């Protein structure tokens, strides 16, 4: 009998302990961040952030752009996070999301050009990513294919079945690619082009980094993806070349914002300030194709991969408001015309 | 109480049955029915506060939608036929032949269940991809992305589960009908069709139903290797994840339910006439040596298991490779997980899986017991809800949990973001399979046991404790291990439920793969397989220690 009651007491203590341990409510000095930055970046950023912000416990959940959006909207009745960090600006300016944000003028945001921040101070973008082709030189050679330099080049029938790009319905990168094509060519010509490109397309795949990933493994010759993953793959030693389409690369800003529902705004603001601090800017140089914080030199990897010193010259000046506004319509048309 | 005097009122056995029933029905309603009802309601919600069919009509006018419906059905029918056939012959080989190496074959056949479904697709790409080993080696240009990729991956994914049910059905057999048939001069063909097949009819129907539902709702395989081949489950992902369109996602979920509910109805209808086919005094069937049959079965099993080993081994191999497929030198770097919380998610997964195993067994056997012991409307509903989870794609269940539990007005909101919600989610995600196994094994115990026990003066509690539980022990342990294994590898249901501090191993695999760290994803999968294998060895040890004789599959 005695044994049983001791056992029960212990069990109860354990259960209580576990419940306290996993208590979801945020404690003082603790912030939760949702982010769509790449995993490796987050790991590196947090190492420094935790050193610079002692006393703040930082939890980060990383999900891809689409997944994160779904989660934030699903949780909107009672958000679990204090900050959205490095999430596609096109998604951020969705009115439903904007309604959840609190204006805050982070220290250092005054140095950012206007296009890198919300006029109402609800978000700012310290960094961004740009579209780029990943070309597998090994496979290209085996198949005897020419090196493409532009979107237009990809219409060459020789590439039939050798191309891969993200499905814009699930991938932020995919949407920014077709948005830039439609804006640069005009909608009518743009759709004509996309339909012609469709004849060569091996696959529309669900995520933005996958085209590059499959290309670097030699599954396809050319993957329409983004610059970060291309540069990283080259550094890791894959037989890969990064090509920035000569029409200009579509790009996306990685926006950061404070949730109005945050229960620890004091620490959250400290983190927002940190993302614009010199220590953070130093890290951006290591990974980022687009850095809005002035005076940051791009990393050697970027140069080695063929990124020009002044990226603004190769960027297509995408109209974000336009691209966000037309999102539903463009995706619907894409599904009608091109979905397989 | 003096003998012979009985108070009128509820018989204590009925009361106990009622209490068990209550203990399984209440959580089933709270953690399954309510969230799913909310998904159902969402499908009719248009804008804020308006109701209507608009979500359905906009979905159904798109031509693409019908392509996806057709893809799903065509794929599922093919996978069901092939994997049930493969599983049937394999279960026959294991249970009814004297071929050597049965234990090894059994363990190998279960390998695909030890890892997230991402693993099969990863393995297939490493092997059969456009730049995979086989194409590079033979200089071919086999295209694996699309129907064939998903088909092969899903067959490998579904085969072990079909095998599990069929093997359980083959395992419990009485030798006397076979002897009788032989004495009456029946030939082998007649014995097979008139004795063997009827004996496993229930298992066969259950396995067809199970494979049908897990294939039509599978998300991982078409996601990785489907290419342009879309199915309903990936379409939900597109609607919700890409377009943030929860209402349309719920429409497709509801539509996905239709074929599964039909399959369910057929299974129930066919199963109704099933009688308990295990007599009380079983003479276990001991398969006789038959050189011809044994050789055929050994060859067949070797080929099947060879393919499975190949798919798993290539992933393990890739996890030790520097730069697949360009630099194949050995490295341990893939096991230094510097992102995604390192090894923490693996530990969390083990804790959650242990809890799911325990809670799952209790709830599943409770439900199966009540369903098998009494008949009324509430019990029919309990039966329906117990099998319903098989028809619910993990992703839908995950979303349903967010809608339901992240509502601050819900007192259960306190569970959100904890290991408990992950546990409960896993229990109900895999409830149907556990329930079917429990139900099958309970059905195979003749009710004569109970009657005899009752005649000897035992009450229901004593009968359960003394008779039912000991006979069931192997099944109970199998179901516990089943819950542990599935929870270790579950992905789609929990992707929306993990939180920064509480993450799971399978999600780490997906995130690593998503981030392009394929070989690290392979490494994390390898660790998951390792954990599951250790759990199985541990179980085996426990069984041996307590000298439990078991015909169970897993041990």
ipTM for this model: 0.73
| Per-residue pLDDT band at B353 (split at 50, 70, 90) | very high
Is the same domain home to A135 and A124? no
The single-letter DSSP state of residue B554 is: -
Task: Provide φ and ψ at B239, rounded to 5°.
Answer: -65, -45
Residue A85 in contact with partner chain B when CB distance is under 8 A = no
- Mutation site, B130, B516, B518, interface A, largest A CB count within 10 A: B516
Question: How many other CB atoms are there within 10 angstroms of residue B110's CB atom?
Answer: 21
Q: Strand pairing of B50-51 and B45-46?
A: antiparallel
For residue A319, the cross-strand partners are none
| Per-residue pLDDT band at A22 (split at 50, 70, 90) | very low
Q: Is A72 part of a structural domain of the chain?
A: yes
- Minimal C-alpha gap between B458 and chain A (Å): 25
- Mutation site, B231, B500, B503, B504, interface A, largest A CB count within 10 A: B500
Q: Is A2 part of a structural domain of the chain?
A: no
d(CA B95, CA A139): 49
Q: How many residues does chain B have?
A: 555
pLDDT reported for residue B503: 86
Is the same domain home to A326 and A235? yes
Contact across the interface for B518 and A213, Cβ inside 8 Å: yes
Residue A211 in contact with partner chain B when CB distance is under 8 A = no
Contact across the interface for A139 and B131, Cβ inside 8 Å: yes
Is the same domain home to A262 and A237? no
Is the same domain home to A102 and A149? no
Cβ atoms of residues A138 and A131 within 8 Å: no
Is the same domain home to A144 and A27? no
Q: Is A304 part of a structural domain of the chain?
A: no
- Minimal C-alpha gap between B131 and chain A (Å): 5
Classify burial at B281, counting beta carbons within 10 Å of its beta carbon; exposed 0-12, middle 13-18, buried 19 or more.
Answer: exposed
Task: Provide φ and ψ at B174, rounded to 5°.
Answer: -100, 135
Residues A63-96 have pLDDT tens digits of 778 778 878 887 888 898 999 999 999 889 988 9
Residues B64-110 have pLDDT tens digits of 889 999 999 999 999 999 999 999 999 999 998 999 999 899 989 98
- Minimal C-alpha gap between B399 and chain A (Å): 8
Is the same domain home to A236 and A265? no
Nearest CA to B247 among B46, B109, B71?
B46
Helix or strand (DSSP H, E) at A180: helix A172-185
Q: Strand pairing of A290-291 and A101-102?
A: unpaired
Q: Strand pairing of A101-102 and A251-259?
A: antiparallel
Tell me the two tokens of residue A338: 């091109």
pLDDT reported for residue B330: 93
pLDDT reported for residue A10: 54
Task: Provide φ and ψ at A163, rounded to 5°.
Answer: -105, 155
Of A75, A202, A335, the CB nearest to B62: A335
- Minimal C-alpha gap between B80 and chain A (Å): 24
Residues A257-278 have pLDDT tens digits of 999 999 999 999 999 999 999 9
Q: Which residue of B has its CA nearest to A58?
A: B500
Q: Which of residues 508-527 of B touch A (CB under 8 A)?
A: 511-512, 514-518
Q: Which residue of B has its CA nearest to A21?
A: B418
- pLDDT over 50 at A300, yes or no: yes
Is the same domain home to A96 and A31? yes
Residues A202-212 have pLDDT tens digits of 999 877 888 99
Residue A263 in contact with partner chain B when CB distance is under 8 A = no
- Minimal C-alpha gap between B385 and chain A (Å): 25
d(CA B543, CA A191): 65
Q: Which of residues 147-186 of A touch B (CB under 8 A)?
A: 167-171
Domain that holds residue A143: 130-251+313-338
Q: How many CB pairs under 8 A join A and B?
A: 148
Burial B182-219 (b: 16+ CB within 10 A, else e): eeeebeeeebeeebbeebbbbbbbbbbbbbbbbbbbbb
Most confident region among A242-251, A308-317, B36-45 by mean pLDDT: A242-251
> Considering only CB atoms, which chain B residues are within 8 Å of A220?
130
Is the same domain home to A174 and A157? yes
Of residues A148 and A28, the one with the higher pLDDT is A148
d(CA B191, CA A125): 74
Q: Which residue of A has its CA nearest to B348?
A: A22
Domain of A268: which CATH number?
3.40.190.10
d(CA A34, CA A159): 39
Give the total number of structural domains in chain A: 2
d(CA B292, CA A197): 57
Of B326, B407, B514, the CB nearest to A209: B514
Q: What is the 3 state secondary structure string of B447-500?
A: HHHHHHHHHCCCCHHHHHHHHHHHHHHHHHHHHHHHHHHHHHHCCCCCCCCCCC
3-class DSSP state for residue B81? helix
Please, what is the average pLDDT of chain B? 83
| Per-residue pLDDT band at A1 (split at 50, 70, 90) | very low
- Mutation site, B515, B520, B524, interface A, largest A CB count within 10 A: B515
The single-letter DSSP state of residue A298 is: P
- Mutation site, A34, A39, A85, A200, interface B, largest B CB count within 10 A: A39
Where do the domains of chain B lie, and which CATH numbers do they carry? Answer: 15-545 (1.10.3720.10)
- Minimal C-alpha gap between B498 and chain A (Å): 9
Is the same domain home to A163 and A117? no
Q: Which residue of B has its CA nearest to A41?
A: B339
- C-alpha torsion angle, residues A146, A152, A154, A160 (rounded to 10): -120
Cβ atoms of residues B40 and B251 within 8 Å: no
Is the same domain home to A159 and A233? yes
Is the same domain home to A284 and A317? no
| Per-residue pLDDT band at B3 (split at 50, 70, 90) | very low
Is the alpha carbon torsion for B246, B248, B252, B254 positive or negative? Answer: positive
Q: Which residue of B has its CA nearest to A328?
A: B243
- Minimal C-alpha gap between B466 and chain A (Å): 21
Of residues A298 and B127, the one with the higher pLDDT is B127
Is the same domain home to A63 and A143? no
- pLDDT over 60 at A19, yes or no: no
């Amino acid at each position: 009998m005695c044994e049983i009651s001791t056992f029960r007491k212990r069990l109860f203590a354990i259960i209580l302990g576990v419940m306290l341990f996993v208590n979801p409510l945020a404690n003082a000095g603790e912030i939760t961040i949702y982010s769509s930055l790449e995993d490796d970046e987050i790991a590196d950023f947090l190492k420094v952030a935790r050193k610079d912000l002692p006393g703040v416990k930082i939890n980060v959940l990383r999900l891809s752009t689409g997944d994160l959006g779904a989660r934030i909207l699903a949780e909107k009745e009672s958000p679990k996070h204090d900050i959205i960090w490095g999430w596609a600006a096109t998604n951020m300016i969705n009115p439903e999301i904007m309604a959840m944000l609190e204006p805050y003028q982070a220290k250092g945001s005054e140095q950012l050009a206007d296009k890198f921040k919300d006029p109402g101070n609800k978000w700012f973008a310290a960094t961004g990513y740009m579209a780029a082709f990943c070309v597998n030189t090994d496979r290209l050679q085996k198949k005897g294919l020419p090196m493409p330099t532009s979107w237009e080049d990809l219409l060459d029938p020789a590439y039939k079945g050798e191309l891969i790009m993200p499905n814009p319905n699930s991938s932020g990168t995919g949407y920014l690619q077709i948005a830039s094509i439609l804006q640069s060519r005009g909608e009518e010509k743009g759709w004509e082009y996309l339909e012609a490109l469709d004849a060569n397309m091996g696959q529309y795949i669900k995520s933005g980094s996958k085209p590059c990933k499959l290309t670097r493994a030699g599954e396809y010759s050319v993957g329409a993806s983004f610059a970060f993953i291309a540069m990283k793959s080259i550094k890791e030693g894959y037989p890969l070349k990064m090509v920035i389409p000569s029409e200009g690369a579509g790009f996306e800003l990685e926006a950061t914002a404070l949730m109005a529902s945050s229960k620890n705004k004091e620490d959250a603001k400290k983190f927002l300030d940190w993302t614009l601090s010199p220590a953070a800017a130093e890290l951006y140089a290591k990974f980022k194709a687009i850095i809005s914080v002035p005076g940051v030199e791009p990393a050697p990897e970027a140069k080695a991969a063929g990124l020009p010193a002044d990226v603004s010259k190769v960027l297509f000046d995408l109209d974000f408001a336009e691209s966000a506004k037309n999102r539903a319509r463009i995706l619907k048309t894409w599904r009608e015309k091109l979905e397989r | 109480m003096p003998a012979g005097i009985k108070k009128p009122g509820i018989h204590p056995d009925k009361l106990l049955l009622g209490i068990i029933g209550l203990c399984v029905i209440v959580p089933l309603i709270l953690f399954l029915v309510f969230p799913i009802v909310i998904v159902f309601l969402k499908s009719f919600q248009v804008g804020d506060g308006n109701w209507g069919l608009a979500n359905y009509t906009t979905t159904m006018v798109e031509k693409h939608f019908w392509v996806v419906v057709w893809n799903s059905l065509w794929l599922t029918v093919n996978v069901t036929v092939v994997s049930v056939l493969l599983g049937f012959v394999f279960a026959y080989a294991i249970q009814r032949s004297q071929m050597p190496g049965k234990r090894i074959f059994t363990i190998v056949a279960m390998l695909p269940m030890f890892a997230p479904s991402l693993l099969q697709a990863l393995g297939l790409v490493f092997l059969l991809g456009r730049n995979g080993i086989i194409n590079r080696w033979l200089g071919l240009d086999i295209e694996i992305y699309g129907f064939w990729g998903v088909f092969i991956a899903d067959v490998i994914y579904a085969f072990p589960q079909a095998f599990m049910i069929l093997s359980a059905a083959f395992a419990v057999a009485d030798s006397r009908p076979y002897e009788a048939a032989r004495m009456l001069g029946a030939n082998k063909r007649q014995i097979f069709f008139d004795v063997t097949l009827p004996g496993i009819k229930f298992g066969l129907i259950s396995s067809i139903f199970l494979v049908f539902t897990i294939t039509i709702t599978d998300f991982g395989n078409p996601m990785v290797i489907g290419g342009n081949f879309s199915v309903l489950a990936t379409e939900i992902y597109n609607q919700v994840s890409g377009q943030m369109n929860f209402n349309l996602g719920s429409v497709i979920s509801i539509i996905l339910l239709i074929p599964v509910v039909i399959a369910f109805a057929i299974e129930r209808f066919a199963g109704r006439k099933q009688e308990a086919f295990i007599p009380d005094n079983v003479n276990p069937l001991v398969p006789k040596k038959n050189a011809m049959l044994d050789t055929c079965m050994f060859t067949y099993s070797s080929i099947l298991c060879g393919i499975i080993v190949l798919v798993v081994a290539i992933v393990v191999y890739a996890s030790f490779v520097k730069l697949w497929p360009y630099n194949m030198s050995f490295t341990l770097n893939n096991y230094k997980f510097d992102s995604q919380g390192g090894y923490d998610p693996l530990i969390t997964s083990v804790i959650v899986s242990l809890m799911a195993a325990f809670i799952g067994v209790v709830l599943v056997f409770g439900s199966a017991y009540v369903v098998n012991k009494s008949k009324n409307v509430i019990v029919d509903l309990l039966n329906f809800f117990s099998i319903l989870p098989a028809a619910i794609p993990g992703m839908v269940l995950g979303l349903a949990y967010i809608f339901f539990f992240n509502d601050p007005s819900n007192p259960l909101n306190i569970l959100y973001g904890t290991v408990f919600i992950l546990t409960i989610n896993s229990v109900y995600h895999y409830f149907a399979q556990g329930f079917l196994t429990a139900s099958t094994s309970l059905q195979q115990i003749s009710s004569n046991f109970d009657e005899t026990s009752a005649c000897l003066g035992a009450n229901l509690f004593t009968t359960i404790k003394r008779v039912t539980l000991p006979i069931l022990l192997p099944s109970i342990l199998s179901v516990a291990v089943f819950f542990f294994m599935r929870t270790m590898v579950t992905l789609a249901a929990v992707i929306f439920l993990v939180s920064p501090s509480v993450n799971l191993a399978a999600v780490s695999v997906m995130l690593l793969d998503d981030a392009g760290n394929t070989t690290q994803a392979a490494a994390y999968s390898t660790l998951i397989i390792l954990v599951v294998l250790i759990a199985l060895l541990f179980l085996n040890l426990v069984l041996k220690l307590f000298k439990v004789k078991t015909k169970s599959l897993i041990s």
